[in-house]
């Protein structure tokens, strides 16, 4: 039902995005609504309860299908494997309220201009807008295109020229009011859910409804003791769940509440600059940024001036990022794609802090509001927490299937009971009670509580180890993990970098390494000047802030940083230019200081940064810092030593971080800002290499060895360069010394050739020419036949991963089966990779320090954050110990909880079946167990074991009590328990049978059920093979003599190549440090 729709009745919402949904149009029908109301009354509220559990049934029962244009209700269905349904009412926004203030009429210029979605959404002549709100995002009906579209952000097609012209002087008051009414308030409003709402939602769970039914039945049978026990257990369980949900709600509310109460300066077209509450901002507003430490209440495009921003809230790294204004270009190309540099360099994201705002010629910093509310970067992060992806765990699916089997068994028992008691002439009410009682026996109400026992105790033990969990159900999933992905920097290696040394060079080649640990000062020269000035550090409240790499480099010079004042001024330079100078006048430093006049900030795509500086009273200079091969490509060839490749490889193969430095003198005849970047970055002189060390954490290698010995795959996903990643993988034991590393490089389609993919074996000793890699990697030219034997690992970059996903989709699963090292990965690519592993049926864990790992942490089955930054709120687990030692502990506790869940499931199911069969046998004789006998079985034997972790002790006590009752011969006790005193010999026989049963059970358990080797033999005999996708691919590749291909290059067939999907989340792709 609901799958057959005509054209116009069905569409896709957020097509191609992570939260893609199908949307169906429905119209409410009065007669259907009346029938449903009558059904609700006559069913005593059962029908509304069913509609609550099944939202689609509610829509199908109350409405009829219609076109989306006519619909007053829409049914939404996710396009993922879960196919989750929800429904929303279509509401109308009336613009008539603005008539009195602005005389809005259908022919008003603001209404008739249909260039923008907002205007297309307004229905003429009644000036109304149809909209729906889905997961906090508002969608309006586009009358021109006939579809629901997201509102609350500027259109993607806008060019930079259009943004400057249309929004550069602000919106008029009329435009603001119209946009405010249609787009809604600029708030990320997460209300603290009232306790009564949480309580009702929890109580309406099918499990608690079944318990209510069971308790009512037991009270009617005067089985009060166990009914009270179940009520107490349920109240405790509900109270704990509501408490946890309330705590999470409060925590999330406090995280975002400050966003909604910020005062900002907005420039209106006619009224000028006005102070405004941030909740009144609309897309297209012109923000005026003044002062320092300003919280961004929205996403905005910087169009004038520059800003230094702390994006720690989104990336987990409190590293200042320089934002530059969007250049005004005549091209009609969309502003996001107009240049090779990352467009996010011009975007100030919501939730980030503007540390410093510097105006250009106009003296003010201006930014155009790009997105508001939940459309923003911070809003997207909060929505991902509010609406997480459902978890598909086989244990819970199997548990539901088994419960359905128990329900089926109970139905058979009900029919049997009805037949026996009706034929025996029992009263109807007694027959109904006995029949319904069979359900509560076959399906034990205490089963869900017993299944959570292992989880509760595992959570307590994890808390003692400093591992905190906000999603306890994920603990069981930890026991299933068979692949764990790790970030490198800050996770496998230590936080920050240590400056190890510098390798100067001149025209004769590289000189001797200068080691800073020796205490000797680096001689003055261009290299020294570059270290002092080529950075993006800022001075705020007397403290230097910036990238850890820049900080270490600057600290090594022992210089200080000041802001230029009256005593030092350069013609044409900004009034507050940054100046670096020696702490004390020193004879070996011939300059008094260096003024940093202009920066071309670092870009992940460009892999370099450049500054224009001037020595005090001296020359104008340009300094460049970046990836060595990129810096060398901008230098005069004769200044780059011939041993450049081999020298670089010496350090990269040891896992050092290597930075190249270069400079040139400038002839300045005009303002520094007038110089184009390509003018400055040409004909440079190569200065040398800066060597930084990023050491492994002490706990890394033992933890990885423990995981590998347990046959759990380990994978590295990092933003660092490929050679460093390979070296760290070898040092950490992720790749052993005897294993091969095969480098995969994929290139995009060009005008002359289609997309290509090449495979090369990485060789550690032989030095050969540079082969267009992210860093210089030795490649073995000749491969012997036996090199294909044994294990191997694939290493590739984020760029190659993207190309393979798009053009070599059929190769991607094969590569992932042995893919271990993924370098230069953007946050979006990390998320995509985790999802691709999940498609191969891996249970994936992700461990990161919160720096650019948030998307992957959320996407994984188990996300473990080593950081307590706000960005890690979405991670199910957070470790207070900042190393990967927590991962094996978590998996062990997960396996313990999982085994406990399995055992409790078997125990509870067996207990219910024994009781079920026993009761049905007694029913044949028109008899039953007494209430005290039921109570002893249900409470003393079963429930106590279900709610305690001292299993053996409780079992011994239970056995002792049972033997005591069996042989006590206390008439009063037997009378109360309705027991019949039998001959002692019979009781001895019972004990012997029980003992024999225990011995047989133990032998069968140890010798057969738990005998892994035996089951492996049986599987081989019957030809059983795992149906997991990764197992199927492993078997296929093991039998493929041509795999892996080495020293080969393949090209895609553009007409037949498989195209994958590129997953990205713009929230987590800001300022990734990839030098």
* Active site members: 487
Rg (CA), the chain: 35
How far is Cα 360 from Cα 766, in angstroms, rounded to an integer?
52
Q: Which residues contact 1018 (CB under 8 A, 6 or more apart)?
A: 1024
Q: Would you call 617 exposed, middle or buried from its count of C-beta atoms within 10 A (0-12, 13-18, 19+)?
A: exposed
> Residue written as tokens 């989750």?
84
**Token representation of residue 645:** 């490749």
C-beta atoms surrounding 610 within 10 Å: 24
C-beta atoms surrounding 454 within 10 Å: 24
**Are the C-beta atoms of residues 811 and 757 closer than 8 Å to each other?**
yes
How far is Cα 263 from Cα 279, in angstroms, rounded to an integer?
9
Helix (H) or strand (E) holding 805: helix 798-807
CA nearest to 384, candidates 1068, 1074, 1072, 1071: 1068
Q: At what angle do helices 984-1004 and 951-967 cross, to 10 degrees?
A: 160
How far is Cα 491 from Cα 866, in angstroms, rounded to an integer?
7
User: CA-CA distances (angstroms) from residue 990 to 602, 907, 969?
Assistant: 81, 21, 16
Helix (H) or strand (E) holding 678: helix 677-680
Q: At what angle do helices 886-924 and 428-442 cross, to 10 degrees?
A: 150
Q: Which residues contact 712 (CB under 8 A, 6 or more apart)?
A: 481, 482, 483, 484, 891
C-beta atoms surrounding 308 within 10 Å: 22
**Are the C-beta atoms of residues 553 and 690 closer than 8 Å to each other?**
yes
Q: Cα angle at 516 between 515 and 520, to 5 degrees?
A: 95
Q: Is the peptide bond before 1044 cis (omega within 30 degrees of 0)?
A: yes
Cα atoms in the 13 Å half-sphere on the side-chain side of 872: 24
CA nearest to 8, candidates 61, 62, 65, 56: 65
How far is Cα 580 from Cα 894, in angstroms, rounded to an integer?
54
**Are the C-beta atoms of residues 270 and 170 closer than 8 Å to each other?**
no
> Residue written as tokens 């008094």?
592
Q: Which residues contact 424 (CB under 8 A, 6 or more apart)?
A: 926
How far is Cα 887 from Cα 467, in angstroms, rounded to an integer?
10
Q: Please give the DSSP secondary-structure letter assigned to residue 332.
A: -
Q: Please give the DSSP secondary-structure letter assigned to residue 936.
A: I
C-beta atoms surrounding 198 within 10 Å: 18
Phi, psi of 966 (to 5 degrees): -65, -35
**Token representation of residue 294:** 């300003």
**Are the C-beta atoms of residues 339 and 324 closer than 8 Å to each other?**
no
How far is Cα 673 from Cα 325, in angstroms, rounded to an integer?
12
**Token representation of residue 158:** 């806008």
Q: Coil, strand, or helix at residue 756?
A: strand
Cα atoms in the 13 Å half-sphere on the side-chain side of 492: 27
Q: Cα angle at 940 between 938 and 945, to 5 degrees?
A: 90
């Amino acid at each position: 039902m609901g799958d057959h729709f005509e054209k116009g009745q069905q569409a896709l919402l957020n097509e191609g995005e992570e939260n893609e949904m199908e949307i169906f149009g429905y119209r409410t029908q009065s007669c259907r609504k009346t029938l449903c109301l009558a059904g609700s009354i006559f069913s005593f509220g059962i029908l509304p309860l069913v509609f609550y559990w099944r939202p689609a049934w509610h829509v199908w029962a109350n409405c009829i299908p219609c076109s989306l244009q006519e619909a007053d209700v829409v049914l939404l269905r996710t396009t993922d494997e879960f196919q989750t349904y929800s429904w929303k009412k279509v509401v109308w926004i009336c613009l008539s309220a603005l008539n009195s203030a602005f005389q809005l009429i259908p022919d008003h210029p603001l209404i008739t201009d249909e260039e923008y979605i907002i205007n297309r959404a307004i229905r003429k002549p009644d000036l109304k807008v149809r909209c729906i709100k889905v997961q906090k995002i508002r969608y309006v009906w586009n009358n021109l295109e006939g579809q629901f579209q997201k509102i609350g952000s500027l259109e993607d097609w806008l060019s930079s020229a259009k943004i400057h012209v249309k929004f550069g002087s602000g919106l008029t008051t009329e435009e603001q009011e119209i946009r405010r009414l249609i787009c809604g308030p600029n708030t990320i409003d997460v209300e603290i859910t009232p306790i009564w709402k949480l309580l009702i939602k929890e109580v309406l769970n099918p499990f608690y409804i079944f318990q209510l039914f069971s308790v009512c039945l037991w009270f009617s049978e005067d089985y009060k003791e166990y009914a009270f026990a179940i009520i107490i257990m349920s109240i405790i369980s509900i109270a704990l769940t509501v408490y946890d949900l309330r705590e999470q709600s409060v925590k999330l509310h406090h995280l975002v509440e400050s966003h909604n109460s910020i005062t900002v300066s907005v420039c209106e077209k006619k009224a000028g600059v006005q102070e405004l509450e941030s909740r009144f901002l609309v897309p297209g507003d012109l923000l005026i940024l003044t002062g320092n430490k300003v919280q961004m209440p929205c996403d905005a495009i910087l169009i004038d001036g520059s800003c230094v921003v702390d994006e720690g809230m989104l990336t987990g790294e409190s590293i200042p990022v320089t934002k530059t204004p969007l250049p005004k270009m005549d091209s009609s190309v969309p502003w996001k794609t107009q240049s090779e540099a990352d467009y996010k360099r011009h975007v100030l994201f919501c939730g980030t802090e503007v540390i410093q705002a510097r105006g250009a010629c106009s003296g003010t910093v201006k930014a155009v509001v790009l997105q508001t509310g939940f459309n923003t970067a911070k809003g997207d992060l909060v929505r991902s927490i509010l609406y997480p992806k459902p978890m598909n765990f086989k244990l819970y699916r199997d548990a539901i299937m088994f419960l359905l089997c128990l329900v089926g068994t109970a139905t058979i028992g009900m029919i049997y009971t009805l037949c026996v008691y009706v034929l025996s002439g029992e009263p109807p009410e007694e027959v109904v009670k006995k029949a319904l009682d069979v359900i509560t026996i076959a399906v034990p109400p205490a089963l869900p509580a017993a299944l959570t026992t292992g989880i509760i105790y595992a959570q307590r033990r994890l808390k003692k180890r400093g591992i905190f969990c906000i999603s306890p159900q994920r603990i069981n999933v930890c026991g299933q993990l068979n692949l764990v992905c790790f970030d490198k920097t800050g996770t496998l290696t230590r936080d920050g970098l240590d400056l190890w040394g510098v390798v100067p060079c001149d025209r004769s080649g590289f000189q001797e390494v200068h080691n800073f640990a020796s205490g000797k000062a680096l001689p003055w020269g261009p290299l020294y000047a570059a270290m002092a000035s080529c950075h993006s550090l800022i001075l705020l409240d007397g403290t230097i802030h910036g990238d850890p790499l820049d900080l270490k480099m600057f600290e090594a010079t022992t210089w200080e940083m000041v802001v230029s004042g009256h005593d030092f001024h350069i013609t044409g330079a900004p009034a507050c230019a940054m100046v670096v100078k020696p702490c004390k006048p020193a004879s070996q430093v011939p300059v008094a200081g260096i003024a940093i006049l202009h920066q071309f900030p670092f870009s992940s795509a460009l892999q370099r940064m450049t500054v224009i500086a001037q020595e005090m009273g001296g020359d104008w200079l340009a300094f460049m810092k970046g990836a060595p091969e990129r810096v060398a490509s901008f230098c005069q060839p004769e200044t780059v030593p011939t041993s450049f490749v081999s020298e670089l490889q010496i350090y990269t193969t040891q896992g050092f971080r290597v930075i190249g430095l270069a400079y040139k003198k400038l002839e300045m005849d005009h303002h520094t800002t007038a110089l184009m970047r390509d003018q400055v970055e040409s004909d440079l002189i190569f200065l040398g290499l800066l060597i930084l060390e990023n050491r492994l954490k002490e706990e890394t290698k033992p933890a990885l060895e423990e995981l590998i010995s347990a046959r759990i795959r380990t994978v590295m996903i990092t933003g660092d360069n490929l050679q460093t990643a390979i070296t760290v993988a070898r040092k950490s034991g992720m790749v052993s010394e005897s294993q091969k590393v095969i480098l995969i490089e994929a290139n995009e389609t060009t005008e002359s050739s289609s997309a290509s993919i090449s495979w090369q074996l990485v060789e550690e000793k032989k030095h050969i020419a540079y082969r267009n890699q992210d860093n210089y990697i030795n490649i073995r030219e000749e491969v012997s036949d036996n090199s294909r034997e044994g294990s191997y690992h694939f290493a590739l970059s984020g760029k190659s991963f993207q190309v393979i996903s798009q053009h070599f989709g059929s190769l991607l699963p094969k590569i992932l089966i042995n893919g271990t090292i993924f370098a230069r990965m953007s946050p979006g690519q990390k998320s995509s990779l985790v999802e691709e592993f999940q498609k191969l049926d891996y249970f994936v864990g992700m461990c990161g320090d919160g720096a650019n790992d948030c998307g992957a942490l959320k996407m994984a089955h188990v996300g473990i954050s080593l950081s307590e930054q706000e960005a890690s709120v979405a991670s199910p687990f957070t470790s207070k110990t900042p190393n990967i030692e927590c991962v094996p502990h978590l998996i062990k506790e997960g396996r313990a909880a999982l085994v406990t869940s399995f055992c409790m499931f078997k125990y509870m199911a067996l207990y219910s079946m024994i009781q079920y069969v026993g009761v049905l046998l007694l029913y044949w004789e028109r008899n039953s167990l007494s209430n005290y006998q039921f109570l002893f079985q249900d409470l003393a034997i079963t429930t106590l074991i279900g709610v305690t972790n001292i299993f053996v002790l409780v079992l011994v006590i239970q056995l002792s009590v049972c033997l005591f009752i069996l042989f006590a011969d206390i008439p009063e006790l037997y009378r109360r328990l309705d027991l019949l005193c039998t001959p002692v010999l019979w009781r001895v026989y019972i004990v012997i049978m029980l003992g024999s049963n225990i011995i047989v059970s133990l032998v069968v358990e140890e010798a057969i059920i738990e005998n892994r080797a035996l089951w492996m033999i049986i599987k081989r005999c019957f030809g059983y093979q795992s149906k997991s996708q990764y197992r199927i691919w492993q078997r296929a590749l093991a039998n493929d003599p041509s795999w892996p291909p080495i020293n080969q290059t393949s090209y895609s067939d553009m007409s037949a190549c498989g195209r994958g999907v590129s997953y990205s989340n713009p929230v987590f792709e800001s300022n990734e440090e990839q030098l």
